[in-house]
Amino acid sequence: MPTEIIKKPEDVLTMLDSLMREPAPFWNQFYSDRTKRIPFFVEYPDENLVSYIESGMLNKGRMLELGCGPGRNAIYATLNGYAVDAIDISEEAITWAMERAKEKNIIINFECKSVFNLQYMEEFDFVYDSGCMHHLWPHRRVGYIQMIYNALKSKGYFGLTCFTPGFTEIGGAFELSDWEIYRERSMKGGQAYSKEKLIDILGDYFDLIELRAMNECNDLDMKFGVPFLWAALWRKK
């Protein structure tokens, strides 16, 4: 077709996008049934986020959450003194998150948009990703990381949870090379990252403060935690 011409780097990204699954319809379908037994459909915040805030590791201020889902972390942060902007590509997820926030009588700036359309410049003290990056195609990951770096104020913090290798039998993900994903045209449900790969792809932008396995939690803890996720905290260089 005449329009299928690569003239600039963005055209390459668009071409690669076209070869992969369109994310918005998938995630809208995923969030449409709220009765599914999905671990992170609970209302509890991530246990590592709770530890960051309760320990005083982070200063209160503006927070941006990427891939906020039904809003559990954004709501927790707001109740603990943050002014929160929360983004998700799924309209179903944003609707659910807004309903939850309304029940708590709190104000959060929820928006349904792609993270690739964000152009913040040093506006946030803290950016949090609870399971977004490990669902991004590798060709989009570079711009995603640069966006986070740009969005953070000087010495701002970036919190990340993502799949750790192993645990595929209980809900984890496979550790695939970036090239293998394109050979297969699939992440098989998400991309697991080794500690070494995380440091390799994020280390030019951020200093690593903490990297550990997420602590497993249950309803009595009133926190979310599963053993197949990393919990990482980074600081902007």
Q: How many other CB atoms are there within 10 angstroms of residue 37's CB atom? A: 5
Task: Taking residues 210-222, report their average pLDDT.
Answer: 95
Rounded to whole angstroms, the Cα distance separating 191 from 127 reads: 21
Rounded to whole angstroms, the Cα distance separating 40 from 45 reads: 9
Given this model, what pLDDT does residue 1 score?
A: 52
Choose between 190 and 126: higher pLDDT. 126
- Of the candidates 71, 58, 130, the residue with the CA atom closest to the CA atom of residue 106: 71
Task: Taking residues 158-171, report their average pLDDT.
Answer: 88
Strand, coil or helix: 172: coil
Question: Exposure pattern of 104-133 as b/e (b: 16+ CB <10 Å)?
Answer: eeeebebebeebeebeeeeebbbbbbbbbb
- Of the candidates 24, 73, 33, 29, the residue with the CA atom closest to the CA atom of residue 53: 73
* Whether the predicted model's global pTM rises above the 0.85 cut: yes
Task: Taking residues 160-187, report their average pLDDT.
Answer: 88
CB 23 within 8 A of CB 89: yes
What would the pLDDT profile of 76-101 be if each residue is shown by its tens digit?
999 999 999 999 999 999 999 999 99
Strand, coil or helix: 152: strand
Mean pLDDT, the chain, integer: 93
Is the pLDDT score of 2 beyond 70?
no
Choose between 3 and 189: higher pLDDT. 189
- Chain centroid to CA 81: 21
